[in-house]
Amino acid sequence: MSVCVRPHIGLRNGNEMDIILHPHLTESIEGSRATLALNRPDAHNALDDSLIAALLEAVIRAGGNPHVRSILFRGEGPTFSAGADLGYMARVASMTEAENRADADQLAKLFLAIYESPKVTVARVHGAALGGGAGLAAACDLCIAAEEAVFGFTEVRLGLAPAVIAPYVIDKIGVGAARALFLTAERFSASRAFSLGLAQDVVPLAALDEAVEMRLAQVEKAGPNAVAAVKELLRSLRGKPPHEASAITSACIASLRVSAEGKEGISAFLEKRPPNFAG
């Protein structure tokens, strides 16, 4: 598939397609890779309600595209994302609680869409990833960070809580580490993010794109249906003891073994050739 760069195109009412021009989101597809680039470098790629809506629709669309295997999130300029936009924060402060609930629900839908996407989601983090920006990295399957990157869950300094992002942060680093980072709002290094499990790779800034490329190339060798099944399996096993998990795991592998993709993968292995789904 050739490179396609376009303004944001959104889904409305499930099927109908509307074109929504958004100046701060660039969407591109190259081969099996979808890239969503936050493009507001003068404001450190801060998030507001319109950008959140645009991202949500783009994630849903990429997730439903059979040609896409991975979704890469990146930020243009010196920062991945510094969290919420100041003007946006001023607006929500004047809203009612009901209006704030509706607004927060939209953000929650974005992170859930990223987390539940059947595609492999990857955050390319450089500069700062703060607040919602750090939450975006946590919601992704993989976070590839530059050594100079700084993370932080800074909401309590504003009298707020990292509420919407909490499930994804806890899923990555556990309750104990999240408790300390949420309550102190401290900023921490990429190396610490790696030790906690928030980042999966930490490399020099000059090698960041190469590291991302290596991970995406790995994704392209995997069966896309198997990847989606693994993601669903991991979600299904959360909190379940082995005696409850066994039925889920047996059903998963049995289904994959008899699938066309599974049969092709086994045949290719036995015949010592690449499977037809490998990019």
155 is an active site residue:
yes
Burial of 204 (0-12, 13-18, 19+ CB in 10 A): exposed
Query: How far apart, in whole angstroms, are the C-alpha atoms of residue 126 and residue 193?
Result: 13
Contact status, residue 142 vs residue 121, Cβ threshold 8 Å = yes
Cβ neighbours for 240, distance < 8 A, ≥ 6 positions apart: 248
Query: How far apart, in whole angstroms, are the C-alpha atoms of residue 253 and residue 92?
Result: 46
Phi first, then psi: give them for residue 232, nearest 5 degrees. Answer: -65, -40
Spatial CA neighbour of 201 closest among 105, 125, 255: 125
Q: Which of 155, 244, 264, 271 is catalytic?
A: 155
Query: How far apart, in whole angstroms, are the C-alpha atoms of residue 127 and residue 172?
Result: 21
Query: How far apart, in whole angstroms, are the C-alpha atoms of residue 268 and residue 175?
Result: 42
Cβ neighbours for 278, distance < 8 A, ≥ 6 positions apart: 220, 221, 222
Positions annotated as catalytic residues are 155
